[in-house]
Structure 1
Amino acid sequence: MAAFAPLQTGDPERVGRYRIVGRLGRGGMGQVYLGLSPSGRAVAVKVVRAALADDPGFRRRFAREVAAAREVTGFFTAAVVDADPEGTPAWLATTYIPGMSLEAAVAAHGAWPKRSVMALGAALAEALGAVHRSKLVHRDLKPSNVLLAADGPRVIDFGISLAAETTKLTEAGVVIGTPGFISPEQLVADKVSAASDVFALGAVLAYAATGSGPFGTGPAQALNYRVAHAEPDLTGLPPELADVVARCLSKDPDQRPTVPHLVEELGRASRTGRAEGFFTEADWLPEPVAAEIARAQATPLPRPVEQATAEPAPTAVATAPPLEEAGAVATAPPPASSAAQPPPSESTPGGGKRRLTRRRILTGLVVAAVLSLVCTTALLSGLLPGGDGQGDDASSGAPARKEPVRKELWSYALDDQMELSTVADGRVYLDNGKDSLYALDADSGDELWHQRGTGGSLLLLGASGGMAYYGDDDYMYALDADSGDEIWKFKDGGVHLTPVAVGETTYATYSGFLAAVRSDTGKGIWRKKYDGALREGVTIADGVLYPVSAGGDDTLYAVDAKSGDDLWEFKAGSEIVSSPVVADGTVYFGSKDGTLYAVDSDSGREVWRRGFDGKLWDPAVANGAGAPIVADGVVYFENDGYVCAFTADNGKPLWRQKPHLEDVELLSVVGDTVLFSDGGDGGRTLYSLDAGSGDRVRKEDLGENQTVVDGTLYYENAGRLHAVSATATDE
């Protein structure tokens, strides 16, 4: 099976002097492509996404770190061979390794024997030595950043991703690294040195030898606590290897072995009974891994599309034609039947939309996920396998099937960095984060009104109950959603509220406060203070408010909407990261460790929960959770590891689908089809599952910023906002 995927509509045909012939994956910095140099040499071309490239600070850091990374010349590193940090877009090219990641190899074939782990360790230590000699520290060595080839492993992502991390995270005090592999001194004091990479190396070797990290699995907070305060679990490691790993994992950086010492010690151990230069053959690898890599290396590279025009300027990106033609979007076959989708409940303001990427960032819901470059070879087990590892239909060799279409309802030109913000009450809201807010008719796409701000930082805060709210500079403004006329404004000093209107009352959370004001005047009705901060936004259902604690806390509150009196509170045991959804007397929500909770709305008592680990789950680490969707007695849920379905009354598992994606966003249940996207910045792919079985039905490359409201699918592509039918038909 190939280590690359076919190009999709909208992908570039050329980046700089490299012809783009395939997809390798996507990471925090952007999309990674398989490219060919003018002489036909294969490279991995990493194109920086616009959200980062538009940041001047990122550009400076990226240029500096590309220059440093180009000085790294170790054999066991994937060398940076070309780059244009000032280009539009910015990009860099690295050596293409037709293999698989250590993470994928262990997941597919299990733990490695001692001999292979020792050889791996010797090579990785040598790679770190090369990085350190260039005055860089990797900071994020982990199994997914180790690529495997017959002639030895390659370490990727040394220094480059730091520019992206610094741009978005360090200002908020977030430590760069991956839970379970990040060193204690990085967690406690944000201090990093070559010894920090040695700690990560020890954790990587333990992972290779046992199939799991030395600090277990679970939510990030639990892993970080164990790294800082608990001893590693080295059960199952051979004594000689356990001794090396234990020294690498010392809490005291000064007590860890140096990289040169590890190169000598692990190299000597791995050469026992073998000739010098054994990395020239693949027998250092476990046999099934070596066989899979050999198949990847034997796979021919795709041929480039012939160019009919002259070669463009070095930094230009030529794109393929738009996906849409004649108002229709081509897809794979639809599910067998289509039932009516129940309307959004009162508890899901904004038409049930969970999140838009930019809104998550701008409203301060900081997701402390590590932004790293993806492995430049993707997973040989299939880039996007269905179920728990089934191959993608696109590469199965099955005969082509008749493709249904999604009827395009309308499209709208997006100008001046305009983006979809939300859809609510029959209106589509767009803003550019600077000075413009538009409202469109959801049925026709016609412009209803346009509001222009004066502070230079206009941002839609919410829309519900016939009201629209936006923040600009030091004020929050309340508008009539029909006309766009200002009703009242409130000076909030730039710390904008997240309001939700229900009838004559608007509710909002800000910092540690929950407040109710009159929707027509903005005058206060009641306000209450909590000990800690509250998550922005509040769910409302049947006269009850459900605010959620923020800042790593785990509390769900129930508050009487009329009086502001507390009714009950529920401690989840892990940070609550999704907005609650209320249906049929039960409150459903997800926590950071990937658990789905069901709580009785009257008493606050737990009805059931379904965790990520246990008999029903694969042992894996979840990265969080999204808002559940409840339809026809079934709860649909995603925790970035799985999309799954449970019976709403007792939590009985019905099915689960493992998308093998870095980020998953559950969008809607339309009839008997579950829709989800690949989420994250720049996510373009829409996936459809059979709601009854969880089987993959299709995937479609549509565009960014996807959301589904009232049977309409919205997405952005080629500078336009498109509204199409959420139900695919054969017409």
Structure 2
Amino acid sequence: MGAIAPLEAGDPERVGRYRIVGRLGRGGMGQVYLGRSPGGRAVAVKVVRAELAEDPDFRRRFVREVEAARRVTGFFTAAVVDADPEGMPPWLATEYVPGMSLDAAVAAYGAWQESSVLALGAALAEALEAVHGADVVHRDLKPSNVLLAADGPRLIDFGISLASEATKLTLTGAIVGTPGFMSPEQLAGDTVGAASDVFALGAVLAYAATGSGPFGGGSAQALNYRVVHEEPDLTGLPPELADVVARCLAKDPGQRPTAPHLVTELGRASQAGQAGQADGLSTEADWLPEPVTAEITRKQHEPLSAPTGQTTAEVVPPTIGATVSVLGPPAAEPPQPESTPGGKGRVFTRGRVMAGLAVTAVLAAIVTATLLPGSKSGDKQTEKPQQTEKPHAPALRQLWSSGQGTDLPPVVKDGTVYVGDRDRGVYALDADTGDQLWENDQTTDIVSSATVSDGVVSFSTGGFPNADTSRVYALDADTGRRLWKFKPNDLVTSAPVMAGGTAYFYSNSLATRSSTLYALDAETGEKRWSRVLSLGAALAFDDGVVYYGGHTVRGSYLHALDADTGKELWKVHISADILPDPLTSLTVAHGVIHAVGEDGILSARDADNGDLLWKYRTGLSDFSDSKPPVVADGVVYISGNSETDSGYGQVFAVNAKDGKMLWKYQMPRVSSPPTVTAGTVYVSTEAGALYLLDAESGDSLGQARLANDHEPEVTVADGVAYFDGGDGRLRAAKITR
């Protein structure tokens, strides 16, 4: 279940007879705590939210659900050990186990081999047999409600399960469950019985075997439609497993196998795949893929208490749903590759002793993000020794996730997240809750992240080679209503620069090797002025001046133009080794222009006249994913990549006054420019990790896993990471240490 987060102000010291020692997570009904019984037993205590506790209908339903949950017993099900449904507030306690959820394991280590999936299916079918034997329907079987432990999986979260005789207590028209795992009859509002859980089991097994649900991804509406009207996609499933899953996913509940039948069938199939292995007692996790076994073994040895000042990551689910799950595993040290799924399966028999581990709470838990130290170099390219003491690993506590992903970095401003997606268009989400505020889907083929200024969102579309469809758009930041669109003469490849009520951008003509620089009224789109210049490379605005870098056949130039009129204030010739890269923006701060050149030279020029102040040679050659340089507290921070066979990334901190290197840090290839806030530098890597460095010393503060085998588009703002985890979901996670 991962490390435990410390208690916060307002958390209870005791609930019933249990001393509260830490936080495990939060669900739709309330907060889940780690508690200790008077005899020292660890339990997960779920405390109902105050507003629900005051609802008489909810209280009546909760009483019945607790009574139903107490009737459920079985090796692979959650056991309620104590409860006070009449308390103020109501609560229940279940046994606690240090494991990880199925969705976390698949997201972290990939799809499972057939033997492990068959063993998982046999155990979950036995869990459903126990649930249904108590006249209970789970109603929300999904990957995040399956906890993996060394001695077998546990079916958890009966918080929304209803006793069969109490199904009429649900609200009229309400659908309880998770898109992609709910049965057709559940979606249609028909009678929901044991067969509905079998349907969900089939979807869970498909997910474990392929890494995705059998009805794809997308919005809840799209998923629900496919579940009711389309056949599942079982591509990639082994034939025997595909046959079982297909029967579980039958549209007609009467055509699905029963849980007892699946116990026999999957148990026999699992045992057949384990020829030569001894059956009997086992407390080993050799039924799991090997990387999952290693992670669970590590968790078993973690202390059952919350270290002071150390928090943990609430789980980031890879599937649609409200339940939290594990964000990611400990990462390997660079440059070693991550582990691949593997390991032998083990048959679960009905008489096996379940030793040492018990079931988790109603909510799948949390896990700390992991530490991955790198090497830090001193001046003159000399290497400093690595830190001997590893700091506490940073953690990501998920705030929300949205089913609307992005292939461009999101922009966060004034409590709103603005996202541009090449296929979906532009949409805005509430930064605190993830609720969609608006969507403009009439603009696709977006090639730039949005820029936001003075209530206007602007972006460009139709990148290379689609010059004919190239446009610049402006939307109302509050409503998403289109204010204007502008078609330039040629190709727009970057976002407009918005400043002082004006949108500045340039379009490139490769035929004439020239560019047109435009200034448009940000509210109306009316052209204020335009100017033909050398082929565009970079653009910035500061204090009434537009700074523009461009190429010509005779060399390259840096221009300073009056922002109101377009009149040229000065122009300086710059050598190729300090030319701003075409994909790298200029940064202007405190009267100095900073840019990175094609050969990795960071330069500083006087913003009043273009005079060179200093330059620093980084030794790197690829800064295409690092734009622009960041200036904070008298330091310039940049990141880039080596193009050698053993390509790596580096982050540099350079004194803004004299260009002398303060520190540099080596890591896997970077995928974003640094973000600097509150004394910490954040940089993401192509491998899907977010590195944290001390802004003053460059020392590693650890790294948090964002995604695996996916280069996330990440934005860090006010200590929150906004990113697409590679599964079509945009996430917001609080970064803590």
- Provide the TM-score with structure 2 as the length reference: 0.47
**Computing the radius of gyration over CA atoms, which structure comes out larger, 1 or 2?**
2
TM value normalised by structure 1: 0.47
